[in-house]
Chains A and B, each alone.
Chain A
């Protein structure tokens, strides 16, 4: 009844997209690029859920996708506002510039 693992190409595509996003988050220093990487991770998940939902003929997954898109939009809206505020102070969106908090 469920999407069998290791036999469906969607798993590999999704895992690859998600990993690219995670790598981007880990190595890039530009806050905007980090936000974009996070977007990529979320959309990889959306693709996977949509595929499973189609395979199972169940609507629950599609509802999850719609909500995930909405949440991602809200997250980016807040994220851009925060980054804009930081840019005003330092004229840069490089995360290495923001290291004032240390213990």
Chain B
């Protein structure tokens, strides 16, 4: 073992913990079939995530370092995404075990698959090589297809997995064609060498570079469900089991943003002084202008389609598309502040979206339906559910005093500080106003409408604790956000 490999493995330890958990689950499933009936797989996943998070904190890098001959980069941004993934993996698994959506047999499969996806997401968010990025994305995608269809007897779940599979496979095929064109033009697969070749060679031929970047955007846009590759989102989110949807709506999206941050800033930009990049010109302008337009289209499509939907999971799916639009705004400045804003918003988004889907899962457990009709009077049946859902939805809207507002404020101020993009901030604010309409619709159903039938089903204390753990930071981060912001800033400072 060379010293380089040993130091690489040390920085790769959090992923190692996840792989160990995965292997342990495999073996346990094989030699102890009765564990399928118990909660043992849940504890293995929770233990792996907690241990993984502790190891991540233990190996926080003080500066960026390339691992495994440059296929992976370990820096503060890697650390951030690892923690976010471990948190959402633990949250998703807990939700799956505590609701009655999945049967016992599917649950042990769910635990295996979600750990596997978590590993793939860690690769995605730290890859600095297009081959590594491709493998990371495919690890996440292929297993996501299975997870969407985890309810084998449910026609909607099957259909969701078919749609996810077909569009996902095509998007990744287009993306790898883009990678191969990049390889053909620059002769390298490493981000650093690609960027160097693009600068030195002037990026000739220009049309090939532009075409390849559009193709790579197709693949990334599919993963984060940005315009024009957002159309699968509502169908898959509606059809997939609710815990799976809750997980899909936060973690793979965050992983896509991790990959996008690295790709946009390491390949398509030239680094200036610390924390500032100069975006490279593609076609008639810098790529930041294209991202600004796509950001506007994404949030418009998400917000306008959400109005008039009858299924709450569908509303939240379109709302997640809109949030991707807001998040894309962080890229237009191509500086460290923009990256910090994206990361902070991801934290807030992770908390509030997981919480909103958690409440949807609980309501669906009671009423056997996720339609707006089923939410009628839930606030009066169980005020705790009603209040926490109100917190999550207000935060998603971006009303002051909630964490969503601080996240949006950072994103918008990032845009305003970038010359020539004031219009983007204006459209973003207007979009937030539009989003209030459909969020308020859910709240109206929960609090103002009378229920058709009153279902007496007490919510267990595990759910109450979990919802409190998600709701309290959502409120606290709206007022006392400085510590998290400082930590995020110091993590981004090591990114280059």
Contacts and interface: CB of A to CB of B under 8 A. Distances in A.
Given A68-B176, A82-B158, A56 B152 contact: no
Interface string A91-103: 0000100111101
Contacts of A98: 158-159, 162-163
Nearest to B181: A48
A86 B163 CA distance: 12
B173 A67 contact: no
Contact of B162 (A5, A31, A38): A31
B314 interface: yes
B159 A49 contact: no
Contact of A67 (B131, B161, B235): B131
Nearest to A82: B161
Given A49-B183, A63-B131, A5 B205 contact: yes
Given A68-B134, A85-B149, A61 B162 contact: no
A63 B129 CA distance: 12
Nearest to B161: A82
Given A2-B185, A82-B149, A95-B162, A21 B305 contact: no
Given A42-B176, A71-B134, A85-B149, A64 B183 contact: yes
A66 to B, nearest CB: 10
Classify the secondary structure of A's interface with B: helix
Interface in B284-314: 305, 309-311, 314
Contact of A103 (B163, B179, B208, B234): B234
Contacts of A22: 170, 174
A95 B234 CA distance: 18
Given A64-B131, A82-B149, A1 B208 contact: no
A13 interface: no
Given A71-B134, A103-B309, A85 B180 contact: no
A101 to B, nearest CB: 4
Contact of B173 (A38, A52, A103): A38
B165 A67 contact: no
Given A38-B173, A78-B146, A79-B165, A60 B131 contact: yes
Nearest to B154: A89
A67 B189 CA distance: 13
Contacts of B180: 45, 48-49, 52, 64
Contact of B134 (A34, A67, A79, A103): A67
A58 B169 CA distance: 28
B105 to A, nearest CB: 15
Contacts of B159: 86, 98-101
Most chain A C-beta atoms within 10 Å of own C-beta, residue among B135, B169, B176, B187 = B169
A87 to B, nearest CB: 10
B142 interface: yes
B459 to A, nearest CB: 28
Nearest to B197: A2
B165 A82 contact: yes
B158 A21 contact: no
Nearest to B237: A101
A16 interface: no
A34 B134 CA distance: 21
Contacts of B311: 103
Contacts of A2: 184-187
A9 to B, nearest CB: 14
Contacts of B189: 60-61, 64
B135 A38 contact: no
Nearest to B318: A103
Given A42-B173, A79-B165, A3 B138 contact: no
A45 B51 CA distance: 40
Contacts of B278: none
A38 B175 CA distance: 12
A41 B208 CA distance: 18
Leading 9 A-B pairs by shortest Cβ distance: A41-B173, A101-B235, A98-B159, A38-B169, A71-B138, A52-B184, A49-B180, A2-B187, A48-B180
29 contacts: A22-B174, A25-B166, A31-B162, A31-B166, A38-B173, A41-B177, A44-B177, A49-B180, A49-B183, A52-B183, A52-B184, A58-B187, A60-B189, A64-B131, A64-B134, A67-B135, A71-B134, A78-B145, A83-B162, A85-B152, A95-B162, A98-B162, A98-B163, A100-B155, A101-B156, A101-B234, A101-B238, A103-B305, A103-B309
Given A71-B142, A103-B309, 19 more contacts: A5-B184, A21-B173, A38-B169, A38-B173, A41-B177, A44-B177, A48-B177, A48-B180, A67-B135, A68-B134, A68-B176, A75-B142, A78-B165, A82-B161, A89-B158, A98-B159, A99-B159, A101-B234, A101-B238
